[in-house]
A = this chain, B = another copy of it.
Amino acid sequence: MKSADKHNKIIRAATKVFAKKGFFNARISDIAKEAKVADGTIYLYFNNKFDILLTVFEQEIGKLVDQIKALLAEEDDPRRMIEIFIAKHLQEMKKNKNLAEVIQIELRQTNKLVRDYRNNRFSEYINIISTIIKQGQDKNVFRQDILPGIAKRAIFGALDEIARIWNLDLVSEYSMDETVQQVINIFLLGILNEPGRQYRLKVKPSRVNPRKKPEFP
């Protein structure tokens, strides 16, 4: 019987190797060696190299989804929920750089080739953000003119870019906490000083409660 144990060992090895060398430069033999397994063994557990990447990705994102959902279940203030999401995502990426790297790779390299190849836990992940925003709008805590489908991309993109920089291992002088606070700060309050009183956007937000419109994909 093919053991779940070995399956896991391969996944862990692959995560490590992909993170270090990137998908295209990772050799199957690297993964095999890292997993202390023969090259051929890998093909008993996975169809091909892509399959490994996708499995790693889905599985790791899945864990994140579960964790964050659990955290959020205990909170019902949308403002805090956004804080929790941001903090948790960044903490996780700081802790698990391999995962951060694999997300980067998967999102830009493979997607294009093997799109919608299987169910997408990643969509589920970022839709957590838009769901929180919608809740906040229902409670009138968030601005009604924010489009949740765009906001979710902006927030995820910001987090992902910060994680990318961490992975370049240039030394940063900012602490984790400081960074988390900043990002929360920017997204909740914006960068403008006393926005309501001093400044009108060049183009005013036009639609209110645009829930009818389909989401930004």
Interface residues of A (CB under 8 A from B): 22, 24-25, 79-80, 82-83, 104-105, 107-109, 111-113, 115, 133, 136, 140-147, 149-151, 153-162, 164-165, 168, 170-174, 177-179, 181-196, 198-199, 201-203, 205-206, 213-214, 216-217
A182 contact from B142, B146, B195, B198, Cβ within 8 A: B146
Name the B residues within 8 Å of A172 (CB-CB). Answer: 216-217
A191 near B192 with CB under 8 A, answer no
Count copies of this chain in the complex. Answer: 2
Contact B174 A150 (CB under 8 A): yes
Closest chain-B Cβ to A157's Cβ sits at a distance in Å of 3
Beta-carbon contact of A161 and B156 below 8 Å: yes
**Would you give 9 A-B contacts (Cβ < 8 Å), ordered by A?**
A80-B202, A83-B201, A146-B182, A149-B174, A151-B182, A154-B183, A154-B187, A157-B158, A178-B206
Given A174-B147, A174-B150: A142 and B191 interface contact (C-beta under 8 Å): yes
Say which residue of B154, B161, B198 sits within 8 Å of A153 (CB atoms): B161
Q: Contacts A141-B192, A192-B141; is A165 near B112 (CB within 8 Å)?
A: no
Closest to A23 in B: B24
Given contacts A174-B147, A191-B188, contact A108 B104 (CB under 8 A): yes
Residues of B contacting A147 in the complex (Cβ-Cβ under 8 angstroms): 174, 178, 182
Please give me the 6 A-B residue pairs with the lowest Cβ-Cβ distance, nearest first. A157-B161, A190-B190, A154-B158, A24-B24, A170-B217, A189-B190
Q: A141-B198, A149-B174, A190-B195 are in contact. List 11 more A-B contacts (CB 8 A).
A: A24-B109, A79-B199, A107-B164, A136-B191, A151-B191, A157-B159, A160-B161, A173-B213, A188-B201, A189-B190, A195-B195
Choose among B107, B181, B191 the residue that contacts A187 (Cβ–Cβ < 8 A): B191
Contact B108 A186 (CB under 8 A): no
A143 partner, pick from B115, B154, B191, beta carbons under 8 A: B191
